[in-house]
Amino acid sequence: MAPETNNRYQFEGTSSYEELEPSSWGVLREHCSALSDHFDSHQDEGSIRIKGALTLIHDSLDDMRPVYGELYRIAPLFDLDENTPGNGYRSHLIMVDKAVLHSGGVCRDMLNQKDSVLFRKTHHVKEIEACSQLLAALSTTLQYVKSLFKSQEQMEDGQYNLFPSEGHDPHKILRQTEAINQYSFYGRCLGFQFCDNMKTILKVVLVGMASFSEIFYANGTLLGRCTNSFQYLVDPEARARRIVTISQHADISFCQAFWHLNESDLLISLPQMVMPTLAINQLISIPPEELECQTLNGATIKIPIPESHIGKKPIHVRLLSAKRRIGMVGSGSVKGALAEQSDCLLIHSHGGGFVAQSSRSHECYLRTWTYELDVPILSIDYSLAPKAPYPRALEEVLYAYVWALEHASSLLGSTAKRVVFVGDSAGANLNLVTALRCLELGIRPPDGIFMAYAPVLLEFTIPPARFFCLSDPVLPLGFLLRCLKAYASTDPNKETWEKSFSEDVVEIDKSDTESFAEVSESDLIALALSPTGEEDQNVPKIASLPSDSTLNSISLTEVETFQGETENSFEESKSQEYIKRFLDMYKNSGLGPSVPILNSTSGDSSNGIDNETTKTWSFFGWNLHKDNNRANRHLGVDNDSFPWDEFQFTIPSDPHLSPYRASDDLLKKLPPVKILTMELDPCLDDCVMFARKLKLLQKPTTLDILSGLPHGFLNLSVVSKEAHEASLVCVKRIRELLET
């Protein structure tokens, strides 16, 4: 069944929280009482720990109940409209309910097996303790979320602004979140908030992240790193500890390297077995030459060549098409009939936090979109931060868009009568700002914009949904802050930091199969003169490319490359000592009963097996040869606190960074916008607030809020049925923009 939008939210059998708490809460209380009665007479260590966990569950429910009720009352004040309820406050209630359901299932299993001869008490002790810590962490989170309400102002439509007022201190709020037990979200309860299929996928992703960190931070012996990697698979507590450490202390180069793994040959080739085969899958290199563009009033302006930070360089774009069409690169010498040119063209910008990924890593859903919509897609591989921070990517997307309009009929197989921008996450932000730049310059804007889980306010602010970064498996808090700093900050020390990064950056090896087919200007003229592929003995032809030639590239010309604490303190519950003792188990136990998890400060890499050879080994396309830079990378830390000093940076209030800040006069000129996000996404409130702003301006806008999926689900559409169905919801919205 396709994912449904979150268009209904209410308690079962009641219209008021005061009348009755959700039924799942009552079921959990009953299970806890039954288990307490059963183990009350048992005095062994396991039984004592079970009773302690049950007490903490009961106390957490009692602590959450009044806060839960308050959030339930204020949540409707932040909805887009009555037909589209959804915002960070509602989503935190949903997350609590899912945690209660998960905990109820664990208790039910224990009740059903308690009298069995196969009852494994040690297993159930760990499961029930994990649930108790999860509910305790959510109880603390709700307190912080509730505290945001007093800093949120009323808007023109009578509803409240999800973005806090300028008087709030986000750094202070974030520092206070250290009281939240993040380990509980990445251990045994991993993925409890998502659909069942996604839980398994996310476990594989996070085991991979933890194991990959052992390779990236190549300290200690090879045997020790392999042992740790195996432990992340079998020991949820070890995995949780490593993931939290990575989130807090891994630098931006690790984020880039890990997110680039899905571009490796192995991870790309396997999904292609089930993805639609495309007639055209072609890289095009756009030369850095000055473009002229006609404005809407008939004047001519020049589009400057992108030069920020890294100088003039070619811009790479990828053309995908289910059919070979007239005037499409790669079809010039094809014999027989070609499909007519499409009247539509999709311009795509990929996500990746402005620091990672490319059109190649997003093929998993772009192939489906191309096939379903029967429209060519041009995906832009913009330059990535921190080497190329703002505004480089924006300059390149604007330049590539104007280039596409100029060459649509001669290279892209489209008349471009309707052009729609599509993108996810960071790419959606770039597309939206590019549309605003078109309006500022007076050139043709796109005819529609589709955005998936887009950040529209790139500032240091904490709306309620941003708290999901404390539990998000794809976009944890440390990753989000480092991406924000890499792309948008005005930190005076950023130049030194970027230089240090460039010296230590990890280069992802290109596939050996990637090639560049040189095409002269005369070849382009030939394509224009013989767009149908008819034989002409006097005109040279562009060679026909093999079907689905994933990595062939067309070079259009030879180009020279340049180089605190809240005001109302929280009362400590009677179970607080239990929580502290549980956290100490994570911090001091070495994360495993037999083999300690190695950090970069323990062990001598000179004793490792890999130091005996200089050969290069490949791991999913990753270059694993030993080098001094990698040997000097460190992840080990002296304490478990978040390195807050690293994030004392500022971000300008610039509408070209944060399109939410654009003027109303400019936003009124935008084409129809369709937004899709998820109920537990850190960018949920961005999407809700931008949709509300457009609605106030009477702009055609739709907002879909899906359930059960994480941020970046489009990249998982090949391995998840629910993610694939959600991708088809995107297709539906894009089709509506194309047909408008």
Cis peptide before 546 (omega within 30 of 0): no
Q: Quick one: pLDDT band at residue 124, thresholds 50, 70, 90? A: very high
- Which residues lie across from 518 on neighbouring strands? 555
Side chain identity at residue 250, one-letter code? A
Lowest-confidence pick of 163-177, 507-521, 616-630:
507-521
- Residue 240 CA to residue 13 CA, distance in Å, equals 37
On the question of pLDDT at 608 being above 70, the answer is: no
pLDDT of amino acid 439: 97
Q: Which CATH number applies to 263-561+653-739: 3.40.220.10, 3.40.50.1820, 3.40.50.2000, 3.40.1670.10?
A: 3.40.50.1820
SS3 content of the chain, % helix, strand, coil (to 5): 45, 10, 40
pLDDT of amino acid 610: 35
Q: Quick one: pLDDT band at residue 232, thresholds 50, 70, 90? A: very high
What average pLDDT is seen over the chain? 81
pLDDT of amino acid 206: 95
pLDDT in tens, 219-230: 667 787 788 888
CA atoms within 13 A on the CB side of 196: 2
pLDDT in tens, 167-199: 677 778 778 788 899 999 999 999 999 999 999
Q: Quick one: pLDDT band at residue 282, thresholds 50, 70, 90? A: very high
- Residue 173 CA to residue 182 CA, distance in Å, equals 16
Percent of the chain scoring above 90 in pLDDT: 61
On the question of pLDDT at 628 being above 50, the answer is: no
Percent of the chain scoring above 70 in pLDDT: 75
pLDDT of amino acid 492: 45
Lowest-confidence pick of 159-173, 244-258, 403-417:
159-173
Write the Ramachandran bin of 429: left for phi over 0, alpha for psi from -120 to 50, otherwise beta.
Answer: alpha
pLDDT of amino acid 577: 66
Model pTM score = 0.84
Rounded mean pLDDT of 322-345? 87
Higher pLDDT, 458 or 635: 458
On the question of pLDDT at 591 being above 70, the answer is: no
Whether the CB-CB separation of 259 and 620 falls below 8 Å is answered with no
**239 contacts: CB under 8 Å, gap ≥ 6:** 186, 187, 190, 206, 207, 210, 232, 233
Angle at 709 between CA 76 and CA 14, to 5 degrees: 35
Give the β-pairing of 377-381 and 315-321: antiparallel
Rounded mean pLDDT of 665-684? 97
**67 contacts: CB under 8 Å, gap ≥ 6:** 139, 142, 143, 146
**718 contacts: CB under 8 Å, gap ≥ 6:** 271, 274, 275, 364, 365, 724
Number of DSSP helices (H) and strands (E) in the chain, helices first: 22, 14
pLDDT of amino acid 707: 96
Rounded mean pLDDT of 695-710? 95
Q: Quick one: pLDDT band at residue 331, thresholds 50, 70, 90? A: confident
On the question of pLDDT at 17 being above 70, the answer is: no
Residue 141 tokens read as 């989170």
Higher pLDDT, 673 or 539: 673
Whether the CB-CB separation of 425 and 431 falls below 8 Å is answered with no
Q: Quick one: pLDDT band at residue 153, thresholds 50, 70, 90? A: confident
- Residue 129 CA to residue 734 CA, distance in Å, equals 45
Whether the CB-CB separation of 425 and 454 falls below 8 Å is answered with yes
- Residue 715 CA to residue 262 CA, distance in Å, equals 9
pLDDT of amino acid 223: 80
pLDDT in tens, 530-563: 444 344 444 333 333 333 333 334 445 433 333 3
pLDDT of amino acid 166: 73
pLDDT in tens, 359-417: 999 999 999 999 999 999 999 999 999 999 999 999 999 999 999 999 999 999 999 99
For residue 317, give the nearest of 274, 346, 353 by alpha carbon.
346
On the question of pLDDT at 693 being above 80, the answer is: yes
Q: Quick one: pLDDT band at residue 203, thresholds 50, 70, 90? A: very high
Whether the CB-CB separation of 64 and 55 falls below 8 Å is answered with no
For residue 287, give the nearest of 211, 396, 201 by alpha carbon.
396
Write the Ramachandran bin of 567: left for phi over 0, alpha for psi from -120 to 50, otherwise beta.
Answer: alpha
For residue 599, give the nearest of 216, 186, 207 by alpha carbon.
216
Element (H, E) at 267: helix 265-272
On the question of pLDDT at 521 being above 80, the answer is: no
On the question of pLDDT at 31 being above 70, the answer is: yes
Rounded mean pLDDT of 238-266? 90
**5 contacts: CB under 8 Å, gap ≥ 6:** 84, 704, 705, 706
pLDDT of amino acid 346: 98
Read off the DSSP letter of residue 325.
B
Which 3 state secondary structure label does DSSP give 343?
strand
Read off the DSSP letter of residue 328.
B
On the question of pLDDT at 431 being above 60, the answer is: yes
For residue 95, give the nearest of 578, 467, 474 by alpha carbon.
467
pLDDT of amino acid 263: 84
- Residue 588 CA to residue 578 CA, distance in Å, equals 15
- Residue 680 CA to residue 692 CA, distance in Å, equals 19
pLDDT in tens, 441-498: 999 999 999 999 999 999 888 999 999 999 999 999 999 999 999 999 875 444 433 4
Neighbours of 583 (CB within 10 A): 15
On the question of pLDDT at 598 being above 90, the answer is: no
Q: Quick one: pLDDT band at residue 70, thresholds 50, 70, 90? A: very high
**404 contacts: CB under 8 Å, gap ≥ 6:** 317, 345, 347, 378, 412, 416, 419
On the question of pLDDT at 350 being above 70, the answer is: yes
> How is 69-126 classified by DSSP, letter by letter?
HHHHHHGGGG-SBTTB---HHHHHHHHHHHHHHHHHHHHHHHHHHTTSTT--HHHHHH
On the question of pLDDT at 343 being above 70, the answer is: yes
**625 contacts: CB under 8 Å, gap ≥ 6:** 614, 615, 616, 617
For residue 9, give the nearest of 67, 60, 65, 78 by alpha carbon.
78
Q: Quick one: pLDDT band at residue 637, thresholds 50, 70, 90? A: low
Q: How do the domains of the chain map onto residue ranges?
A: 23-179, 189-239+576-641, 263-561+653-739
Residue 229 tokens read as 């990697």
For residue 259, give the nearest of 164, 338, 353 by alpha carbon.
353
pLDDT of amino acid 164: 86
Neighbours of 361 (CB within 10 A): 21
- Which residues lie across from 286 on neighbouring strands? 315
Whether the CB-CB separation of 720 and 406 falls below 8 Å is answered with no
pLDDT of amino acid 156: 72
3-state secondary structure 397-426: HHHHHHHHHHHHHHHECEEEEEEEEEEECH
Side chain identity at residue 180, one-letter code? I
Angle at 408 between CA 448 and CA 539, to 5 degrees: 170
Which 3 state secondary structure label does DSSP give 272?
helix
On the question of pLDDT at 102 being above 50, the answer is: yes
